[in-house]
Structures are given as C-alpha cells and as structure tokens.
Chains A and B, each alone.
Chain A
C-alpha cells in the first residue's frame, strides 16, 4: 500500500536499500527500503517487535545487517562507517549514559569522541536546547527518567548532526516535557533528516511529515500522516443529531446519493454518514439538510491509531 509521498525536494541524506536482519528463525527486519531527505521528519510507526529498533540499530551502524545497505549523507555505512557515523546523532531506545559521570562530563566525553571543535560552546547549546541547566553538574545516576532521556537527546545533538535517529524520544517524559521535546524536534527539522520511532500516533501527526508503518519487519505504508489519516476508517464521517422525523426523511434522501457510501443509525436521533473514499462532502450534506430540524453536525477526523490497528492487526493475524 503506497501512499501520497511528499515531493522530494531536499538533499538525500539517508538511503536504505533492501535492509534485512534475522535472529534465528525470526525476521526482525525483512528487506526494507526507503529514503529520507533534508527537511524530512520520518516517523517509524509499528507495534512492539515490528522491527523499528533493529532497523534504527542498523542505520546507526550498531548492528550489522544480513543483507542490504545504508548510505548516510553519501557515505556507505559498510565501507565508510566512521564518516557515516560522524553525520548521525543517535538517541537509543534505552537512553543509555554513564551513570557515575556528571551531565557536563558525559556531554564533554561525547563531544571529544565526536571531535567537536568548540566543546564549551556545543555544551552550552545542547544544555539550553534540552533544558538541562538545573542538573548539569549532577551525576546522571541521580537524575529522573525524564532528565536522563533529555541528557541522551543532548548527546545526540552535541555535534549539530545532519541526520538524527531518535528511538522513542519522548518515552518516559511527562506531558509538558513531551511537548517541549516535540517542539525541539520540529525546530531542528529544517536543516536535517530526522527519523524517529514512536508508539504515540498523535506525536507522529504533530511532528512528522512522513510516516512509515512497519510490522513484522516489513514496510506496510510509506506515506504522510495526512494521507494516512485520510485513509482512516472514520475520516470525514458526519455525525448528525436531529429530530426523529427529520432523520427518517434524510435517510430516504441519502439513498441513491453517489457520494454516500453507507449510513449508520446509532439511535432515533443520531446518524453517522460515511462518505465515499473518505472525502469531505459536508457541503453536499448541508444542501440536503436545508429545511430539516438539525441539532448538530460534527465532521469527524480520521484517527491514525484506527488505521494503525487495521493495518497491523491484518499482518499479525
């Protein structure tokens, strides 16, 4: 199922071709291919065990693929691993960090390993971006889960990378912190290619301009969140609350209308109208209901999680 891809405008920064990894009989990643351009924020969506994390581990060079290749900013990960890794900032799923080090000490170590020129300036920049000022001299083992994740995000940004790979970047954060990190990701996106995995579909809607649904190691959909929402079962469904007599009259009128896929009567006074192909036919409905006693009309937006459930349930079955 191929969706409506956004026009490719930015420079190609990540190329993944036929990437595969097996663990014994389990196909963790089964021949996936995709590209990410500068300015793209690609959301990896999928249930637990779908292969998102394994794919990210291969893109960052931690796990060697059984098959396929990855190019980062023009560097093949197999042949020019160091050059490719220099271009990547990576936040692993578990947000690992050396617990006995202070936040500043840890970030300095990562900056040194990444051969950052002005370490003090880079430190100031990421401490500010990840709002770590209050804990910068604290040892990491004494920090809350939310702060640890932000420390890990800060290390991923220390060298101002062109490519960001973020595995569950907002996992463990409270709603306020989630919003801050999502805003940070959005603000970082113009000059970079960002790949993030998430279970929170609202987050994908909010932050990503592309969504890639993975299940059992395969890509099911490569599309935009908007296009995915349009395919969701309840997209543009119109819910009307009206007088019982008006409801009967409307149902009779709707019969035979090409744009109306089906009608579902929920009660004596409530009706759901499903349009053909999830298109918006609110205007046509307003014309039909002129003169009827209507209490309310509500146009529903498709929810990504409904489509996500439909897609992945089919594969898992």
Chain B
C-alpha cells in the first residue's frame, strides 16, 4: 500500500480536527436540527402525520440537505491548507498525495457518518410506532452515507481548485445541485425533448437521485453500488490531479 503512505496519520489528524474546532459541532447541530425539521414538518416529511413505521420521511430530503452541508465540510479540506501554507508541510512529509487526499476524504466521510449515526432517535421513534423493516432502514442509511461521500468527493475537488473557501463552497454546491437536478423527471423530460432519448438516458444514469431512491427503498442493487463507487472514485481521482497542479500555485 505504498501508494497510500501516510493515509492513517492524515486521517487521524483530520478526524480530530473536526472536534477541536467549533466547525464540527456547529455542523452536527445544524444537520440534526435541519434533518429533524424536514422529517417532522407538515410541508415536507410529515413523519408524525403519516404514522408509518419507516424512515422514508427522513431519508427523502437528506440529499437536498447534503447539497448544502457537505460542501461546508469539504470546503476547508484543501483550500485552508493552501491558504495557510500547511500544504507545503504536509506534502513534503513522507506522505503520498494519494495518501493525504484519501486520508482527508475518509476523515470527512467518517465525520459525516458520525453525524448520521446521531440521527438514531428517528429510527427509535419509528420502532415505537410499529415494526419497521430494519433492512430498509439500514439500506437507507447506506444510501445516505454513499451520497454524502459522493458530494464530499465533489466538494474536495473544488477545495483543491481554489484557495478561497467561499468560492470552493459555492462551486461545490452548484455542482452537487446540478447532479441532483439531473435526476428529476422534469429535467430529464426537458433534456429528452431537446436532445433525444439516448441523451436523456445517459443523464438519468449519472443522476444521484435514482440510485439514492432505489437504495433508500431497500433495493440494494449492484449497479447502484457500482455507480456510487465509480462516481466517488472519479471525483477523487480528478481532485488529486487538480491538487497536484495547484498545490504550489
């Protein structure tokens, strides 16, 4: 694993960093309050009105929440390193660029995983209402974790591209929104009308929404898992190429 030398040290430093500054706690509080609101609100999830022992009311709006919150986690990962000059320190240690990049990604992803785990009261409440299908609940959490990872990989590329965290955040939100919108029926219909069915299918296949919805309904299909894997790896690999060019700029 010579290619990933330094991944463990970078992961540990980054993961601890989320909890040694207010950013991590602020993120968790905002995430829990916003996801709770969207789940319970009469205008969105209507969890209490539906009185169903499942978490669809919770999972349905998570991608839209991630679109804003995950770039906030990603924006500092490289932009701050480049602005403060610590990137020079980090990349002259015996740490490969891949090790440093993936170490940061895994730390960010684990942090997002921790914040997802803290939503357990929603599952607990569903269990009190009835007998939820725990397989579906787990696949919903898997879908959420994979979506968060995908958006994190997108956000990291823009963080590697710009020293300015605000610019990195805006670009990451715009790109993430675009990938969500691509999967909406209205968008696909418009694309189909103007560019033809083949292009419509192509765009549908790279939309996160379809794969997220399938997984969160309990349909754990290989094609969805492969999609998330390839989507995330492609953005990570592109981000590494970008960082390699911008690190000393």
In the complex, whether B9 has a CB less than 8 A from a CB of chain A is yes
**A57 and B94 contacting across the interface, CB-CB below 8 Å:** no
**A96 and B84 contacting across the interface, CB-CB below 8 Å:** yes
Q: For the side of the interface on A, what is the size category?
A: 20 to 34
In the complex, whether A27 has a CB less than 8 A from a CB of chain B is no
Q: What's the count of A-B pairs with C-beta under 8 Å? A: 65
- In the complex with contacts A86-B94, A92-B85, A94-B85, A109-B9 CB distance below 8 A: yes
In the complex, whether A16 has a CB less than 8 A from a CB of chain B is no
In the complex, whether A82 has a CB less than 8 A from a CB of chain B is yes
Interface residues of B in 65-95 (CB under 8 A from A): 84-86, 88-89, 91-95
Closest A residue to B249 by beta carbon equals: A23
Task: Give the CA-CA distance A92 to B247 in the complex, in Å.
Answer: 14
With beta carbons under 8 angstroms apart, the residue of A99, A112, A114 that contacts B84 is A99
With beta carbons under 8 angstroms apart, the residue of B5, B9, B91, B96 that contacts A62 is B91
B-chain residues with CB within 8 Å of residue A110 when the two chains form the complex:
89, 93
Closest A residue to B22 by beta carbon equals: A100
Name which of B8, B16, B86, B88 has the most chain A CB atoms within 10 A of its CB: B88
With beta carbons under 8 angstroms apart, the residue of B17, B95, B247 that contacts A100 is B17
Q: How far in angstroms is the closest Cβ of chain A from B155?
A: 20
Q: How far in angstroms is the closest Cβ of chain B from A102?
A: 9
Task: Give the CA-CA distance A100 to B81 in the complex, in Å.
Answer: 13
**B6 and A113 contacting across the interface, CB-CB below 8 Å:** yes
In the complex, whether B13 has a CB less than 8 A from a CB of chain A is yes
In the complex, whether A60 has a CB less than 8 A from a CB of chain B is yes
**B residues apposed to A, CB below 8 Å:** 2, 5-6, 8-10, 12-13, 16-17, 20-21, 84-86, 88-89, 91-96, 247-248
**A residues apposed to B, CB below 8 Å:** 57, 60-63, 82, 85-86, 88, 90, 92, 94, 96-101, 105, 109-110, 112-115, 152, 155
